[in-house]
A and B are shown apart, each in its own frame.
Chain A
Amino acid sequence: MEYVLHVLAMFCLYSILATSFNLLVGFGGLFALSQAALYALGAYATAIGAGTLGLPFPIPLIMSVVVAAVMSALIAIPALRVSGHYLVVVSLALQIIVLQVALNWKGLTGGTDGISGIPQYTFFGIRIDTPGSFLVVAAIAAVACFWVCRRLTRSPFGRALRAMRENEAAAQAVGKNILYMKVTVFAVSAGLAAVAGSLFARYFTYVGADSFTIDETIYILAMVILGGAGNLWGSILGAAILVILPEALKFAPLPVDIADKLRLIAYGLVLMVILRFRPEGLLPEPRGKKAMFVPVDAEGGKGDAEALFEGGAGEPGSVTLEGRALKKTFGGITAISDFSIELKKGRITGLLGPNGAGKTTAFNLLTGFLRPTAGEIRLHGKAIGAKKPHELVGAGVARSFQDLRLFTKMTVIENVVVALPRQSGDSLASVFLRPLKVREEERANAARAMEILRFVELDKKAHETAEDLSYAEEKLLVVARLLATGAEVLLFDEPMSGLDQTTLQEIFPVIRKLAANGKTVCIIEHNLDVIKELCDTVYFLDEGRAMATGTPEALMNDPELAARYFK
């Protein structure tokens, strides 16, 4: 029956929209409420390409994808500067502007009349003019789009995307290029939504602004949330429910003037109830062993993680990373001034000082998370002041965070794998163009990650979710993740705080071994015992400047410091 076929065709369209939106919202954590506008761009581009200009397939489709992807990258630009609530507002504004342009640019879009008479598809002489034949086309497109989403999410790129969702700074700190990921995921999501838009134009042969209002975005959002953010099958399920259910409800004998309002109220309630009682949606994000893209047996293989623990060539004691006369002010407040530091290969350097002394600011400067107001930072003698955090990780400088910033909704092993260096699968082009290489690397990386976990004795917990770990285990995972970057300069922000003596005794040798292997290690620490135990050199900071520098013993015996701080 054609009506059923029509409903199924609509389901195909919405499953494309929901899965593509899920990439953005569920995987990327980018809450942009403009999916309907991108859908509209796709529809209009095809309407103009196929209708007004009379171009043959597939040129209009390509136009749709390109136009939407470019526009979406434009939203990504403010989205790079802002996130969370700002992105909501910016994307809502974009949604409204796109529709207003569609309504006002009469020459191109037909204004409020829209564009009608768009030619239907004709393939091999067969005109796709019935719901049944269109369903075949729509299903092929839906499967293709799903395949793209699936490939993308089950790749190192997709994992990095989820890491970014969990914590943007931490993703940068393991070497992920946030700019690239955001722009790419915005563009891909928009491109896929535009495919749905293009299909819309061909099926309805009419495109007008009324079909792409903000309500449409919320409708698609409801599918994603209901099905489960971060689960592609969930979006398919969500689309199926929210397309078919309202159609079924139309058979219920409701007064016609309030039937639609009741249906909308039902959507609203679904959103609220699902968030209240099952926030992960009907199909939660895959966890545990299912989160891995390669068979678990790959983890048992012999990896070459040892190499990651090595510090690389160079004379022990030679300066690797140095900051000279660093200064950082926020507004009128000076956080750090005239601070110079040298970190040496094979040595452990400590940063000591009271709260608010500027230790974390110093870390942020050295790792590219903040730009110094004045002063210079050099790595192996080369100025690196302009590099971004992920570039510094690539160059060999990595850090951890005082507040851990684990990727809490990912498994333990994922937290480590995501940090491994030089993954060609971080690039979306490789994911699609060199799938075999990516897969081979992935198998090797699974093995390396397991080795690192064995090193910190977390291998038994490899497939548990990071948020389920104990505090001590979380700290160990932070170390593992930092090690996985393979960086030669490792900056630990309070790695030991809150740990009991036994655990400390387990971690000390790990850090010592790293230094012995030729790594440059720097730690922020409050605990004098830890400093004494580990550090070769200590910088004592207060009020944004280095009050003293020397061996732990020398500092602690300094009468002035002792009087002021070590009573």
Chain B
Amino acid sequence: MKRRSVMSWLAAGALTLGGLSAAPHAARAADAPNDPEVFRFGAILAMSGKADWYGKVMSQAVLQAVEEINAAGGIDGIPMEAIIEDHKSGVAKEGVSAMTRLINIHGVQAVLTSFSPPTLAIAPIADEKGILLLNGGGVSAALIGASKHLFHNRSLAADLGAAAAAHARDLGLEKMAQIAWKSDAGESIVNAVDPMWKDGGGSIGATEYMEVGAANIDTQVAKIRASKPDWVALWLFSPDPGLALKRLREFGVKAPIIGIEYNQDIQSVAGKYSEGYEYTSDYFTPSDDWAKSFAAGYEERYGEAPEFYAANYYEDVYVLAEAIKRARAKGGDYWKGDKLSAEIKANPTFKSVYGGEMTYQDNGVAKKRVALFKVEGGESQFVKYISRD
């Protein structure tokens, strides 16, 4: 494994270098590229329904990236255009409708996707038609390998959970109680963490599930408290970690609480109870120049700071642009999803808005640095990177 990744790094470096100098020649040497007027791609997001918050931030980031790229002259002079479609917060049928519309009416070759059910339902179509799929949202185990053209730039939910659990182990905690979303993401974390935690000699006091979206969780919290845990794991996503934090602390649970997400919404729901909350996440903080300009641009447009979902979809557009650029350098009928997918596979390393580079692994999931954060004084503080085996 180690050797493989070293090799791929080397290969990536060589290609990048080669690409930089050889690009003009390559274009001349191969067939003349068959350019479309515009690189039109789709994004099937949760624009309505229970989880439309995700659709909002993801689509905003996509549109920002397109705007930036076009303002800078497009890809070799050709502009990009994003068509935003709605899967109504994870309805498979809507995803397929959107996908056929994107392919047939808009002639897209690449689609940004989110949520498991619609992604699973469009994956066979992507295989069949050779459409590139980029997912920047939650990654449940079921999505791995759903399509040969599917790439994820977010860590597996299960990996984030495992990192959180690893941190709990470092703290010497023994008895875990967990509350998880009744969703593919929540369940995939429970499935991954349970055996790992038990193998490491830990015990599980309680495993409770909650509905997505501000439900009454008094009963779940009461059961967690009664199990007297050493720590409480929140396998929840925005904004529900906020509610869980608030309720757990109110109920007098004093044990450390470790989760996998924190953002403004969570903060506003949890209020003062977010103090001391620790979480593991893809480490997005506007650190280098690119990240800073993204964050500044996002804040200027939408009046709020971007969080990592926005960052992921923003990044996905750039990944797509880069893949197009590489494919175009080879000329011919390059504007094809499967060719773009082949380009990504051939050279899976891309610049990351998280800073530095990211590399897609063989399973299509980009390995990103997972970091531990702690909320102190209402602000999220970076603590350390979590090393993974």
Q: Do chains A and B touch in the complex (CB under 8 A)?
A: yes
List chain A positions with a Cβ less than 8 A from chain B. 1-4, 6-7, 10, 103, 106, 110-114, 116, 129, 131, 200, 204-208, 210-211, 247, 250, 256-257, 259-261, 264
Closest-CB distance, A232 to chain B (whole angstroms): 24
- Given contacts A131-B100, A260-B47, whether A208 and B117 have CB atoms under 8 Å apart is yes
- The answer on a CB contact under 8 Å between B97 and A1 is no
Tell me, yes or no, whether B311 is within 8 Å of chain A by CB: no
Measured between beta carbons, the chain A residues less than 8 angstroms from B52 are 257
Closest-CB distance, A56 to chain B (whole angstroms): 20
- The answer on a CB contact under 8 Å between B55 and A257 is yes
Closest-CB distance, B192 to chain A (whole angstroms): 13
Q: For residues 272 through 295 of chain B, which have their beta carbon under 8 Å from a beta carbon of chain A?
A: none
**Could you jot down 5 A-B contacts, CB within 8 Å?**
A1-B104, A2-B100, A3-B103, A204-B121, A205-B121
A116–B145 CA distance with the chains assembled, in angstroms = 12
Closest-CB distance, A262 to chain B (whole angstroms): 10
Who on chain A is nearest to B104 by CB?
A: A3
- Given contacts A206-B121, A210-B117, whether A260 and B48 have CB atoms under 8 Å apart is yes
Closest-CB distance, A373 to chain B (whole angstroms): 45
Q: For residues 46 through 100 of chain B, which have their beta carbon under 8 Å from a beta carbon of chain A?
A: 47-49, 52, 55-56, 59, 84, 86, 88-93, 96-97, 100
Measured between beta carbons, the chain A residues less than 8 angstroms from B124 are 205-206
Measured between beta carbons, the chain A residues less than 8 angstroms from B96 are 6, 204
Closest-CB distance, A240 to chain B (whole angstroms): 16
Measured between beta carbons, the chain A residues less than 8 angstroms from B142 are 110, 113-114, 116
Who on chain A is nearest to B117 by CB?
A: A208
- The answer on a CB contact under 8 Å between B128 and A3 is no
- The answer on a CB contact under 8 Å between B92 and A211 is yes
A117–B90 CA distance with the chains assembled, in angstroms = 17
- The answer on a CB contact under 8 Å between B117 and A206 is yes
Interface residues on B, range: 35 or more
A319–B188 CA distance with the chains assembled, in angstroms = 76
Measured between beta carbons, the chain B residues less than 8 angstroms from A131 are 100
Who on chain B is nearest to A111 by CB?
A: B187
Measured between beta carbons, the chain B residues less than 8 angstroms from A250 are 101
Measured between beta carbons, the chain B residues less than 8 angstroms from A116 are 120-121, 123, 142, 146
A260–B98 CA distance with the chains assembled, in angstroms = 13
Q: Given contacts A114-B117, A206-B117, A211-B93, could you give 20 more A-B pairs where the C-beta distance is less than 8 Å?
A: A3-B100, A4-B104, A6-B97, A6-B100, A112-B186, A113-B184, A114-B142, A116-B121, A116-B142, A116-B146, A129-B128, A204-B93, A208-B116, A208-B121, A210-B89, A257-B56, A259-B47, A260-B47, A260-B49, A264-B48
A-B contact count (CB 8 A): 100
- The answer on a CB contact under 8 Å between A112 and B128 is no
- The answer on a CB contact under 8 Å between A112 and B84 is no
List chain B positions with a Cβ less than 8 A from chain A. 47-49, 52, 55-56, 59, 84, 86, 88-93, 96-97, 100-101, 103-105, 116-117, 120-121, 123-124, 128, 140-142, 146, 182-184, 186-188
Who on chain A is nearest to B100 by CB?
A: A6
Question: Chain B: interface secondary structure?
Answer: helix
- The answer on a CB contact under 8 Å between A208 and B104 is no
- The answer on a CB contact under 8 Å between A113 and B100 is no
A129–B124 CA distance with the chains assembled, in angstroms = 10
A195–B325 CA distance with the chains assembled, in angstroms = 47
Question: Chain A: interface secondary structure?
Answer: helix
A2–B105 CA distance with the chains assembled, in angstroms = 9
Closest-CB distance, B35 to chain A (whole angstroms): 24
- Given contacts A205-B121, A211-B117, A260-B47, whether A3 and B56 have CB atoms under 8 Å apart is no
Who on chain A is nearest to B84 by CB?
A: A256
- 3 closest Cβ pairs, A-B complex: A260-B48, A3-B104, A113-B142
- The answer on a CB contact under 8 Å between A206 and B184 is no
Who on chain A is nearest to B90 by CB?
A: A210
Measured between beta carbons, the chain A residues less than 8 angstroms from B105 are 1, 3
Measured between beta carbons, the chain B residues less than 8 angstroms from A200 are 93
- The answer on a CB contact under 8 Å between A260 and B182 is no
- The answer on a CB contact under 8 Å between B97 and A10 is yes
A112–B184 CA distance with the chains assembled, in angstroms = 5
A2–B93 CA distance with the chains assembled, in angstroms = 16
Who on chain A is nearest to B115 by CB?
A: A210
Of the residues A2, A7, A103, A114, contact of B92 by C-beta under 8 Å: A114
A7–B104 CA distance with the chains assembled, in angstroms = 12
Who on chain A is nearest to B52 by CB?
A: A257
A289–B359 CA distance with the chains assembled, in angstroms = 74
- The answer on a CB contact under 8 Å between B86 and A259 is yes
Measured between beta carbons, the chain B residues less than 8 angstroms from A112 are 116, 182-184, 186-187
A260–B116 CA distance with the chains assembled, in angstroms = 20
Closest-CB distance, A445 to chain B (whole angstroms): 45
Closest-CB distance, B374 to chain A (whole angstroms): 30
Closest-CB distance, B188 to chain A (whole angstroms): 8
